[in-house]
């Protein structure tokens, strides 16, 4: 044992993955320090204010399969509320706004049948992958050699069906279909049981929200870890490993010595942390090749949820954008109404250059086309541009372009000496979601604990 170590385990990152890793180690009786670059916990979850209520500017919904997250909320008495979905949905396609019900929008019959066929085919292809090693599937190299856009271009004939699939890809990945590999796309779906659960409200990833917001659960986790074990505003700039432990170089010139480390930062941010010895080649390559998605989340408050009186659920998608998808974000019991939605992929990259006022104008213009003139006069507006967040570098999660998953994916959970890797990107279940972050934190801490018990 290294008697000079300050702690058994140092955790880099105070998002849900890092906090869960810290908690797992504390519960095993180990000494722990969690180091977080921001002046707040929660990473890609974050509170904001809108019309006198707290809103989630980042992660918000929880699905029925997110058992770790639901258990955390239950431990702290944080209740969920059902995402409102009664009524018709809206789709803006080829310049027209139409109402529809069910999962698949109103399209000409040929396109509708093709969407149905394509969805079923994608579900079958995703289910055929091994969740923990999608790169080992028989046709992995072929699927990883093309983007989702190139697959759609050769496999989907109607313009309508292609547009629907593009909308679904943007909604799940906050990226264009041309940015991601078909293998990565299928593996991500596989981790959450398919495409349908990811784009659904009832029974899917958008089924419930937390009263008071998801972001508050990071503080609940921190309380369980012990706030004294967490250092905010502490950037880890380098890690130096030797035969007995790891020295972490911290902002302000401080150092910390740990026997093991869990890195719980997005894959893409690892490149900002120096390493001695250098990061293993495939780990460094994975960090270089896993860019974050592009998303700006916006909430718009109105004096009432006026769409409900017209039989609308508040759910809407648009092929013209830039605000798609949209959901009813009205908090239970509130007098006012809220529409919550996302600017994603290429639209986010174009609008990140605008001021918040400029973005608000574009969002309102889109909502007015969808919901009518009442949508033009909001009570309040709140947004968060995740592209501009230094310690996220984009969101929702890390993506993989062609040839990344097969070439570099196999090392995603492989430790580098005394350093173990967590973060939602490394999860086997619910990759990209808070549930995945918790799973990855548990797994990386378990690896570190097993190694610590060997001395």
Ligand X SMILES: Cc1cc2nc3c(=O)[nH]c(=O)nc-3n(C[C@H](O)[C@H](O)[C@H](O)COP(=O)(O)OP(=O)(O)OC[C@H]3O[C@@H](n4cnc5c(N)ncnc54)[C@H](O)[C@@H]3O)c2cc1C
Q: Which is nearer to ligand X, 236 or 366 (CB)?
A: 236
Q: Which is nearer to ligand X, 126 or 205 (CB)?
A: 205
Question: Of all helices (H) and strands (E), which one includes residue 46?
Answer: none
Q: Which is nearer to ligand X, 188 or 302 (CB)?
A: 188
Query: Under a CB-based contact definition with an 8 Å cutoff, are residues 415 and 421 in contact?
Result: yes
Q: To the nearest whole angstrom, how small is the minimum distance from the Cβ of residue 71 to ligand X?
A: 14
Q: Which is nearer to ligand X, 186 or 268 (CB)?
A: 268
Q: Which is nearer to ligand X, 188 or 408 (CB)?
A: 188
Q: To the nearest whole angstrom, how small is the minimum distance from the Cβ of residue 270 to ligand X?
A: 8
Tell me 263's DSSP state: E
Q: Which residue in 154, 130, 147, 141 sits closest to 182, CA to CA?
A: 147
Q: Which is nearer to ligand X, 111 or 269 (CB)?
A: 269
Q: To the nearest whole angstrom, how small is the minimum distance from the Cβ of residue 124 to ligand X?
A: 25
Distance, CA of 349 to chain centre: 17
Q: At what angle do helices 148-155 and 159-173 cross, to 10 degrees?
A: 160
The bridge status of strand 337-344 relative to strand 7-12 is: unpaired
Q: At what angle do helices 67-75 and 216-225 cross, to 10 degrees?
A: 70
Q: Which long-range contacts (CB under 8 A, 24 or more apart) does 375-378 make?
A: 375/300, 375/302, 375/339, 377/302, 378/300, 378/301, 378/302
Distance, CA of 212 to chain centre: 19
Q: To the nearest whole angstrom, how small is the minimum distance from the Cβ of residue 237 to ligand X?
A: 7
Q: To the nearest whole angstrom, how small is the minimum distance from the Cβ of residue 4 to ligand X?
A: 22
Q: Which is nearer to ligand X, 313 or 426 (CB)?
A: 426
Query: Under a CB-based contact definition with an 8 Å cutoff, are residues 10 and 248 in contact?
Result: yes
Q: To the nearest whole angstrom, how small is the minimum distance from the Cβ of residue 426 to ligand X?
A: 8
The Cα–Cα gap between 298 and 58 comes to 10
Among left, alpha and beta (phi > 0; psi -120 to 50; other), residue 186 is alpha
Secondary structure (DSSP) of 215-261:
THHHHHHHHHH-GGGEESS--EEEEEE-SS-EEEEEGGG-EEEEEEE
Q: Which is nearer to ligand X, 58 or 314 (CB)?
A: 58
Between the alpha carbon of residue 78 and those of residues 41, 48, 137, 288, 294, the distances in Å are: 18, 18, 40, 38, 30
The Cα–Cα gap between 5 and 79 comes to 40
The Cα–Cα gap between 35 and 33 comes to 6
Q: To the nearest whole angstrom, how small is the minimum distance from the Cβ of residue 117 to ligand X?
A: 29
Q: To the nearest whole angstrom, how small is the minimum distance from the Cβ of residue 317 to ligand X?
A: 16
Q: Which is nearer to ligand X, 143 or 367 (CB)?
A: 367
Residue 63 — φ and ψ, nearest 5°? -95, 165
Residue 198 — φ and ψ, nearest 5°? -75, -30
Q: To the nearest whole angstrom, how small is the minimum distance from the Cβ of residue 430 to ligand X?
A: 7
| Contact footprint for ligand X (CB under 6 A) | 12-18, 35-38, 43-45, 58-61, 235-236, 264-266, 269, 272-273, 295, 297, 386, 391-392, 395-397, 423-424, 432-435, 437
Q: To the nearest whole angstrom, how small is the minimum distance from the Cβ of residue 33 to ligand X?
A: 11
Q: Which is nearer to ligand X, 44 or 443 (CB)?
A: 44
Q: Which is nearer to ligand X, 64 or 303 (CB)?
A: 64
Q: To the nearest whole angstrom, how small is the minimum distance from the Cβ of residue 176 to ligand X?
A: 17
CB under 8 Å to 433, separation ≥6 — which residues?
A: 59, 63, 66, 192, 205, 424, 427
């Amino acid at each position: 044992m290294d008697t000079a170590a300050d702690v058994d385990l140092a955790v880099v990152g105070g998002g849900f993955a890092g906090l869960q890793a810290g908690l797992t180690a504390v519960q095993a009786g180990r000494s722990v320090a969690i180091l977080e670059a921001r002046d707040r916990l929660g990473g890609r979850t974050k509170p904001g204010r809108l019309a006198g209520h707290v809103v989630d500017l980042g992660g918000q919904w929880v699905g029925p399969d997110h058992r770790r997250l639901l258990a955390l909320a239950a431990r702290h008495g944080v209740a969920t509320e059902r995402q409102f979905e009664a009524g018709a949905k809206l789709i803006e396609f080829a310049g027209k706004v139409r109402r529809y019900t069910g999962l698949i929008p109103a399209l000409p019959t040929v396109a509708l049948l093709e969407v149905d066929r394509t969805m079923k085919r994608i579900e079958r292809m995703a289910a055929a992958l091994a969740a923990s090693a999608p790169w080992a599937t028989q046709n992995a190299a072929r699927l990883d050699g093309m983007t989702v856009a190139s697959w759609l271009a050769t496999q989907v004939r109607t313009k309508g069906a292609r547009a629907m699939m593009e909308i679904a890809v943007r909604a799940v990945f906050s990226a264009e279909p041309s940015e991601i590999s078909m293998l990565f796309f299928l593996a991500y779906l596989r981790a959450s049981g398919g495409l349908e659960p990811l784009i659904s409200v009832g029974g899917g990833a958008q089924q419930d929200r937390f009263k008071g917001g998801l972001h508050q659960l990071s503080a609940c986790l921190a309380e369980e870890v012990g706030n004294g074990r967490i250092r905010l505003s502490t950037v880890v700039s380098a890690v130096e490993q030797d035969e007995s432990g790891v020295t972490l170089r911290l902002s302000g010139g401080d150092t910390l010595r740990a026997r093991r480390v869990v890195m719980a930062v997005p894959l893409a941010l690892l490149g900002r942390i120096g390493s001695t010895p250098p990061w293993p080649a495939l780990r460094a390559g994975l960090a270089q090749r896993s860019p974050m998605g592009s998303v700006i989340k916006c909430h718009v408050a109105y004096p009432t949820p006026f769409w409900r009186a017209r039989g609308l659920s508040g759910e809407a998608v648009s092929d013209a954008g830039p605000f798609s998808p949209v959901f009813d974000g009205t908090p239970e019991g509130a007098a006012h109404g809220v529409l919550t939605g996302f600017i994603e992929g290429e639209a986010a990259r174009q609008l990140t250059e605008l001021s918040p006022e400029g973005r608000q104008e574009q969002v309102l213009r889109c909502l007015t086309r969808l919901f009518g003139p009442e949508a033009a006069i909001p009570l309040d507006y709140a947004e968060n541009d995740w592209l501009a967040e230094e310690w996220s570098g984009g969101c929702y999660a890390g993506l993989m372009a062609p040839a990344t998953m097969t070439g570099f994916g196999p090392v995603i959970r492989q430790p580098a000496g005394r350093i173990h890797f967590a973060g939602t990107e490394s999860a086997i279940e619910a990759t990209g979601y808070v549930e995945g972050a918790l799973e990855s934190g548990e797994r990386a801490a378990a690896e570190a604990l097993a190694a610590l018990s060997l001395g």
